[in-house]
Amino acid sequence: MARFAIRRIGSMILVLFAVSVLTFLIFNVIPNGDPAVRMAGKQPTATQVEAIREEWGFNEPIYTQYAKTMENLFSGNMISYFNQLNVVEEIWKGVPRTFALAFGAAIIWMAFAMALGLWSAMKAGGKSDTLLNVFALIGISMPVFWLGALMNQYLGFELTQVLGFELFPNGGYVEFSNSPFEWFHHMLLPWFALSILFIGFYSRVLRANILETMDEDYVRTARAKGLSERRVLIHHVLRNSMISVVTLWGLDFAVVIGGGAILTETVFNLQGVGQYAADAIGQLDQPPIMAVTMFGAFFVVFFNAVIDIVYAALDPRIRLEAGDTAT
Partner 1 sequence: MSETADRPVSDLDAFSDAPAVTVGGSGGASPWRLAARRLRKRPGALAMGIVFLVLVAVMLAAPLYARHVADTTPYENHLSDQIEVGGETVNVVGFDGVPIGPTWRGKFLLGADSNGRDVAVRLLYGGRNSLLIGLSAALITTVLGLTTGLLAGYFRGWTDSVLSRIMDVLWAFPVILLGIALGTSLSLGGLKAGPVEVSGGSLAIPIFVIAVIYVPYLARPIRGEVLSLREKEFVEAARAQGMGPIRLIHSEILPNVISTGLVFFPLLVANAILLEAALSFLGAGVQPPEPSWGTMIDEGVERIVTAPALAIVPGAMIVLTVLSLNVFGEAVRDALDPRAKVRIEH
DSSP state of 173: -
Selection from 150, 261, 153, 243 nearest residue 198 by Cα: 261
CB of 257 to partner 1, least distance (A): 9
Q: Is residue 297 involved in binding partner 1 (CB under 8 A)?
A: yes
290 is a site residue for partner 1 (CB under 8 A) = yes
In 3D space, the residue among 275, 267, 287 whose CA is nearest the CA of residue 93 turns out to be 275
Total of chain residues touching partner 1, rule CB under 8 A: 52
Nearest approach, Cβ of 256 to partner 1 (angstroms)? Answer: 8
DSSP 98-133: HHHHHHHHHHHHHHHHHHHHHHHHHTTTSHHHHHHH
Q: For residues 37-46, b (16+ Cβ closer than 10 Å) or e, as one string?
A: ebbbbeebee
CA–CA distance, 123 with 205 (Å, rounded to integer):
15
Q: Contact, 248 vs 307, CB < 8 A?
A: no
* Alpha-carbon radius of gyration of the chain: 24
Q: Bridge partners of 52? A: none
Residues in contact with partner 1, shown as a per-residue x/- string from 112 to 151 under the rule CB under 8 A: -------------x-----------xx-xxxxxxxx-xx-
Q: Which stretch binds partner 1 (CB under 8 A): 25-33, 69-77, 173-181, 235-243?
A: 25-33
- Which residue lies nearer to partner 1 by CB, 166 or 175? 166
Residues forming a β-bridge with 79: 86
Residue 286 binding partner 1, by CB under 8 A: yes
66 scored as a contact of partner 1 (CB under 8 A): no
Please identify which residue in 4, 8, 27, 53 interacts with partner 1, judged by CB under 8 A: 27
Residues 221-260 as x/- pattern, contact with partner 1 by CB under 8 A: ----------------------------------x--xxx
Our CB check for partner 1 shows the closer of 236 and 285 to be 285
Please provide residue 61's backbone torsions phi and psi, each rounded to the nearest 5 degrees.
-60, 160
Binding range to partner 1, per CB under 8 A, among 112-120, 227-235, 263-271, 316-324: 263-271
To the nearest whole angstrom, how small is the minimum distance from the Cβ of residue 302 to partner 1? 10
Give Cβ neighbours of residue 1 (< 8 Å, ≥ 6 apart): 312, 313, 319
Residues at the contact surface with partner 1, assessed by CB under 8 A: 14-15, 18-19, 22-23, 26-27, 30-33, 38, 125, 137-138, 140-147, 149-150, 153, 157, 255, 258-260, 262-263, 266-267, 277-278, 281-282, 284, 286, 289-290, 292-293, 296-297, 300-301, 304, 327
